A and B are shown apart, each in its own frame.
Chain A
Amino acid sequence: MIFAQILISGFSLGSFYALIALGFSLIFGVTHAFNLAHGELILLSGYLAYYLWKFSGASPYWAVPVCLVVMPGAALLLNLLLRGVKAPFELNSLVITFGLALFLQNLMLWGFSADYRLIQPEMGRFLEAPGLRITETQVMLLLLSLAATGLTHWTLHHTFLGKALRAAIQDRRAALLAGINVRRMGLVAFGFGGMLIGVAGPLYAQTMYLYPAGGLEATLTAVVITIFAGVGRTRAILAGGWLLGVAESLATFLLGAGWRELVSAVLLIGLLIFRPHGILAKGEG
């Protein structure tokens, strides 16, 4: 039973990673904007959820729809900022979003202080089976990551808009020749990515702790999971998150907490060598 408990911990941790990475991957895939301020946007969403929870006293999950509505606005502002960026776009977007990340960190330091914040789940809410306990946070992480991944995948694969987005991800020039408004697709990607950031924020505030400089860790997690998955592969993001989460949990159990990062690094290097196009890529590895 202990291994089942470890797997649950691993899958919920992996779901958390996937939620952080989904928005980054989508925006990067469509627009090629390497958004180093991604983590800071998640933190902003987390702080919004934290204060909503703190002052309303309602369940933190009520903050999810609010963040879902607010955060696309922030992401679209970022899109506006990046619109005037000259070539080489990837490199310049990296520099601009790095500056933005520093700006947002200082803004949060000024606005929210350097204190660590954490949304406390209600104690005593869990699912229990003999020898197993799944907490409410773990259930919500699993459900919301599945829902977010499922919805993103469905949108990308079963709607006309999604097909246009995928075309922009796969080959921007070919998409332009096919009459797809790539710029508008960028706007859609930022809006949709903002919604995913809106979902990730409240869960970040509940799973991790918030502090103004914490965005870097979230951005790094998003980058690592995107490398694991391959750009624009939504299901692979969840699979990559789960793989990393389970590997970290098993490493902690079998080798000790100090080995966790080393195991992740080895896994990442191994994937880059043996499956450079992503964990679920077919015939490219």
Chain B
Amino acid sequence: MNKCRRFLLIVFLLPVILLTLTSVLWAAEPVKLGEINPLSGYLAKHGWEIHQGILYAVEEVNARGGLAGHRVELLSRDDRSSPEVAVNQAQELLYREKVVGLLGGYVDSLVGPISQLAARHRVPYVASASLQSALTRQWRNPYFFRVSKLEGIVEPLCQFISQTLKPQRVAILYMATPGSTEFATEVAGRLRRAGAALPLMEKFRPGARDFSVFLLKVKEAKADVLISGGFFPDNLILVRQMRERPVGLKAFIAPWGVAYPSFIEEMGPASEGLLGLCAWNPGVTMPGTEKESQAFVQGFRHRFGVEPNTTTMHGYTSARALLAALEKVLQKKEPLTGATICRELAGLDLLLPMERLKFDAYGDPMYYQQVVVQIQQRKMVVVYPPARATGRVQYPWDF
């Protein structure tokens, strides 16, 4: 009988002790992180993808006990794809919630204002998707870090075009956003220097409904290759209209929006042969991170019920960087201030599925490099650089 009572006592007490210990552990003040993403509006698709990547990284950390015993609390805010709202949301996170770091952001028009606000408040901001070089080079901001950079797209793209496609005449269509405009200018300069003619270079406003007349101009210009600096939805319309009325292109390449499983699903057979760029995708990972990448894909699918993509991975990578820096500060038993966190961010060197992440003196990632993929049989095949290629490029096409 005594044995039985003792057993019952243990059965009763054990969970109570465990719960008490856990609550004491979690009672340590949570680390508050703020995240601002376009969760509604024109860019909502990519905003949600980044949000899920960040959330997954935070949940991963909390599942293994938090950061040095501190639970991480993620405060997510929607900027509604508008810079004004992004600033308001960032102010709320900084003034009222007193977050120790900021994450997220898609396109420079949304990231730029937040980065300046973060600098004024001396709070580190690790942007998930930002390209404009002025944000780091022109206005040196010691509190701003990002996991992507323009050079990581422009360089492989231009090398691939000049070395593999060797076009005579290139047309460029780009969006009236800071990142896309700088991208187009940079690409045009490099291709001209490589000897290609650029008979057509035009910009458009986000949300354009019709590219048929622009495509007529591409045909008139007798371009071999069209580079599109539009986003996912722009490329949906552009490619569809190009397929409806072929204009004699040998290749179509878009750094944003094409290398997505959902793009292939939406376009179906019309996506065949298109070229895109990505930093990561399930099956396209940094050498040496295959296992981690696979574990991420499986865990992500289980958690969200959807396939992660390159944008998700940008969110995940930015969160991993900030979390790693925070952990280092906490392990050193130092206060979480802008200065201590930025110091640790500046000293990071992580090998992640998307890239080896080490920031340069400007807060840009030193090793960020995208790969060129071609859609073949509705799958993404890496065709450049040769060291990471999983197949050969099929060229020319007749778009």
Contacts and interface: CB of A to CB of B under 8 A. Distances in A.
Given A257-B204, A257-B208, A209 B270 contact: no
A35 interface: no
Given A257-B204, A261-B205, A212 B40 contact: yes
Given A105-B40, A213-B42, A258 B202 contact: yes
B213 A253 contact: yes
Contacts of B245: 126, 133, 135
B236 interface: yes
A258 B44 contact: no
A2 interface: yes
A238 B211 CA distance: 21
B48 to A, nearest CB: 5
Given A109-B44, A133-B245, A252-B213, A217 B204 contact: no
A25 B245 CA distance: 33
B185 to A, nearest CB: 14
Interface stretch (A38-46, A117-125, A150-158, A267-275): A117-125
Contacts of A6: 213, 216
B30 interface: no
Interface residues of B, number: 40
Contacts of B208: 257, 260
A100 interface: no
Contact of A249 (B42, B210, B244, B268): B210
Contacts, number: 104
Interface string B214-232: 1011001000000000001
A257 B200 CA distance: 11
B353 interface: no
Interface in A138-184: none
A217 B81 CA distance: 14
B244 A209 contact: no
A114 B203 CA distance: 25
B44 A212 contact: yes
A211 B233 contact: yes
B209 A13 contact: yes
B389 to A, nearest CB: 29
A2 B220 contact: yes
Contacts of A260: 204-205, 208
A210 to B, nearest CB: 9
B173 interface: yes
Contacts of A9: 210, 212-213, 216
A217 B233 CA distance: 14
B240 A13 contact: no
B243 A114 contact: no
Nearest to A120: B268
Contacts of B237: 118, 208-209
> Chain A, interface size: which category?
35 or more
Given A114-B48, A137-B244, A212-B40, A5 B209 contact: no
Contact of B270 (A105, A106, A120, A257): A120
A201 B81 CA distance: 24
B216 A253 contact: yes
A209 B236 contact: yes
B216 A118 contact: no
B208 to A, nearest CB: 7
A103 interface: no
Contacts of A109: 40, 44
A285 interface: no
Contacts of A5: 216
B74 interface: no
A135 B244 CA distance: 7
Interface in B42-101: 42, 44-45, 47-48, 81
B204 A121 contact: no
A256 interface: yes
B93 to A, nearest CB: 22
> Among A120, A123, A261, which residue has the most Cβ atoms of chain B within 10 A?
A120
A207 interface: yes
B199 interface: no
Interface string A224-260: 0000000000000000000000001100110011101
A246 to B, nearest CB: 10
Contacts of B214: 252, 257
Given A257-B202, A257-B208, A2 B216 contact: yes
A167 B283 CA distance: 65
A209 B235 CA distance: 10
Given A114-B40, A126-B244, A258-B204, 9 more contacts: A2-B216, A6-B213, A113-B45, A120-B266, A123-B270, A133-B245, A217-B207, A252-B214, A257-B203
6 contacts: A13-B210, A114-B45, A116-B262, A118-B237, A257-B204, A257-B214
Smallest CB-CB A-B distances: 5 pairs? A114-B44, A257-B204, A252-B213, A114-B45, A9-B212
